[in-house]
Amino acid sequence: MNIKILDSWLKEYVKTTAKPQKIAELLSLASVSVERLEKYNEDYVYDIEITTNRPDLMSILGLARETAAVLNQNGISATFTPPALSVIPAKAGIQKRTGSPIGVGDDNVKLTIHTNEKLTNRVMAVVMEVTVKPSPELIKNRLEATDIRSLSNLIDVTNYVMRVIGHPTHVFDYDRLATKSLTIRGAKKGEKIETLDKKIHTLRDGDIIAVDDSGRIIDLLAIMGLENSVVTNETKRILFFIDNNDAQQIRKTSMGLGIRSEAAVLNEKGVDPELATDAFAYGVKLFEEVADGKIISEIIDTYSNKPQIQTVSVTEEQIASVMGVPVTVNESAHIMQSLGFATKISSHVILASDKRTRPESKKDAGQASMTKNILTVTPPSFRAKDITIPEDVIEEIARIYGYQNIPDKLPAVEQAAPTAYGKNEFFWEDRVKDMLKYWGFTEVYTYPMVPKELYDGKIEDAVTIENPLSEEFVVMRRTLTPSLLKVIKENKKYDTVHIFEIANVYVKKAHALPEEKLTLAGVVKKDKVSFYEVKGIIEQLFRELGINEAVYTATNDGAEISLRHSGDKQREDSRIDSGRASLARMTSVGTITIENSNLISFELDFRRLLEHATLKKIYKPTSKFPPIVEDLALIAPSDVLTGTIIETITKQNPLIASVTLLDKYQDTRTFHIIYQSYEKNLTDEEVGEIRKNMLKILHEKYNARLKE
């Protein structure tokens, strides 16, 4: 949110000789962002961006306080001088219990207000006699210079108070209310109102409104006044009204109805109800000055929900640790005081023997100890919501101290344990992305939130967005593939597509945050795409990652991919003469899925891949003894995977150096087998014995036999 203010207006409350350019520079370094500084006649206008957690700075006084603190910290004299306002107490006899009717005035000027403590924090009101006339030039010029249109002296006062104090105010034509009672309540669905801009709005349940005796709605509280109670040139008596309401409900109403008035934007951020006192006093003062105002009723002030203020303590060591520079508690206290905080400094002694902390006056003589200096701060009410932990206090100290005054030195941090062979996750991500890119794939980025119809699994198992922006962003995805298939669908004009994505998927956990799993997924689209083509891409990817122990298990629509667990070691002697393949724990790492005849997808658990990935190369010398090569044609059932046969053959004997599929025709598969020793020349008899045992195992396990 942004606010515009005049330099002369700011300097009415901060006495300094600093030039506007210097003020803009220092405020931008330490506090708010001054987006522009523009010449305005003989003056300057600051256009300032305010962060949403600082509604107190959406005011001249809030910015004047910050300006004085920042200038003084930078050696430029500045004094914050808030306006002197008379306290206007509610007269004797006014009830202040929320929800109770509160009557004011005599028989001629009487008003009762019923409030609701669940909707309203505070209400202040008074009836005044006024004269409608043009606003003074000073008020008119200041408002218009800051993008607020001057309408009449009555409305201008409310805007002027809001700009100076930071709390929105409102004014009704008291005689147009035609009621002796106002009730603040939540709206009923379907009720209609006409706002000041002459637009008709249909209310929803819970919108905060004020109604008269007959049930007529006369105000949409904290957002915009209504046409039926607005002041006019004929107004003689006004109800000056300040309400502080539930910020969340104001936000819902403002966004739901599409009414983004400055009052609504400010109120939804949670304006400090304590500011209502100054806003009320200042408003009464201005009405007396510019509208010949005269109070003709008692004053209403119901205050049911006061800010909860908690003290926060921080040690000198904590401040130095976070900021990276030594700042004493005395200097820190001075900074916090300049921002309106109450401060207290204390020292405690930690005894080396028992590590107990005690006041310094209790220090044991002659015992080793260290003194800990502690700063305790109490936030002003307008900072009660955003100053709750020690880090909040340190942030305030750091920004006023000046980030530019903190040395450009990285703090000492404990280095995280390296992942696979000293390479971090980002290294492997980049490596995989480069490989896929060179193989013709295009990387895509899709939203982690998906509509319910794209969720792969039971919807009750999904991580659900509590307040989705639209029906397109309802749940967090558990798999990447549906998002990639959607990309394919939206680009159906392309006959050949190779895409991939590396991103998190989300698995719901009971009583805990969802598990984020980094996943690699891809889709290949082309005319009659081959399963083996995609399998080959994955196999080559594994080779580049240093992964050799991949196993593919057939499924109804493709294959499941498993890897031997990194902690399992295959015993060489298990392949020699037992006739059984070695047993090792396998971990599922992903799948290949045949979506249709021209579309195949794959999805891999990327972090599981990293457990097995390595750049380490093992040198294997070439044997000086010649190999024996033979091709065996085997007849095996079609449901027995070729990869399974190759793995079984390979494990039968360490002298089997290589097994590859040479050819396939109907139920016959021909395998190219290489036998080789590193110690001697192999004989036909030795190879024949190996072959005999191998064929026996294949027949027993898979009913496979040698083709005659």
| pLDDT of the residue at 488 | 94
pLDDT band of residue 550 (cuts 50, 70, 90) is confident
User: What does the pLDDT look like over 600-650, one tens digit per residue?
Assistant: 999 999 988 888 888 888 788 889 999 999 999 999 998 888 888 998 999
Question: Is the pLDDT confidence value at 464 over 70?
Answer: yes
Question: Is the pLDDT confidence value at 38 over 80?
Answer: yes
Mean pLDDT score of the chain: 87
| pLDDT of the residue at 644 | 85
Residues 6+ apart with CB under 8 A from 116: 98, 99, 184, 185, 186
Task: Tell me the average pLDDT across 650-670.
Answer: 91
| pLDDT of the residue at 418 | 52
Least confident of 67-71, 205-209, 348-352, 687-691: 348-352
pLDDT band of residue 360 (cuts 50, 70, 90) is low
Question: Is the pLDDT confidence value at 99 over 80?
Answer: no
Task: Tell me the average pLDDT across 574-596.
Answer: 60
pLDDT band of residue 578 (cuts 50, 70, 90) is very low
Q: Which letter does DSSP use for residue 126 in this model?
A: E
User: What does the pLDDT look like over 243-293, one tens digit per residue?
Assistant: 999 999 999 999 999 999 999 999 999 999 999 999 999 999 999 999 999
Q: Which helix (H) or strand (E) holds 141?
A: helix 137-145
Residue tagged 């506090």 (tokens): 31
Closest CA to 481 of 535, 527, 523, 510: 523
pLDDT band of residue 410 (cuts 50, 70, 90) is low
Q: What is the pTM of this model?
A: 0.61
Structural domains in the chain, CATH included, are 2-80 (3.30.56.10), 102-303 (3.50.40.10), 312-404 (3.30.56.10), 420-612 (3.30.930.10), 628-706 (3.30.70.380)
Burial class (CB in 10 A: 0-12, 13-18, 19+), 371: exposed
| pLDDT of the residue at 685 | 93
**Portion of the chain with pLDDT greater than 70, in percent:** 89
What's the CA dihedral at 216, 221, 224, 227 to 10 degrees?
A: 20
| pLDDT of the residue at 480 | 94
| Cα(609)–Cα(9) distance, integer angstroms | 64
Burial class (CB in 10 A: 0-12, 13-18, 19+), 52: exposed
Closest CA to 220 of 254, 246, 266, 268: 254
User: What does the pLDDT look like over 283-334, one tens digit per residue?
Assistant: 999 999 999 999 999 899 999 999 999 999 999 999 999 998 999 999 999 9
Q: Which two tokens stand for residue 109?
A: 């000027």
Which is more confident, 466 or 41? 41
Q: From the DSSP assignment, how many helices (H) and strands (E) are in the chain? A: 18, 36
| Cα(396)–Cα(386) distance, integer angstroms | 11
Q: Which letter does DSSP use for residue 59 in this model?
A: S
pLDDT band of residue 684 (cuts 50, 70, 90) is very high
DSSP-assigned states of every residue in 77-120: -EEE--------PPPTT----TTS-EEES-SSS-EEEE--TTTE
Task: Tell me the average pLDDT across 446-456.
Answer: 87
Instruction: Provide the 3-class DSSP secondary structure of residue 650.
Output: helix
pLDDT band of residue 567 (cuts 50, 70, 90) is very low
| Cα(269)–Cα(247) distance, integer angstroms | 6
Q: Which two tokens stand for residue 424?
A: 């971090």
Closest CA to 271 of 281, 262, 283, 258: 262
| Cα(691)–Cα(672) distance, integer angstroms | 13
Q: Which helix (H) or strand (E) holds 143?
A: helix 137-145
Strand partners, 38: 45
Question: Is the pLDDT confidence value at 597 over 90?
Answer: no
User: What does the pLDDT look like over 148-197, one tens digit per residue?
Assistant: 999 999 999 999 999 999 999 999 999 999 888 899 999 999 999 999 98
Burial 165-195 (b: 16+ CB within 10 A, else e): bbbbbbbbbbebbebebbbbbbbeeebebeb
| Cα(200)–Cα(184) distance, integer angstroms | 20
| pLDDT of the residue at 640 | 87
- CA of residue 29 relative to chain centroid, distance: 24
| pLDDT of the residue at 617 | 80
User: What does the pLDDT look like over 218-235, one tens digit per residue?
Assistant: 999 999 999 999 999 999
pLDDT band of residue 666 (cuts 50, 70, 90) is confident
| pLDDT of the residue at 87 | 67
pLDDT band of residue 576 (cuts 50, 70, 90) is very low
| pLDDT of the residue at 137 | 96
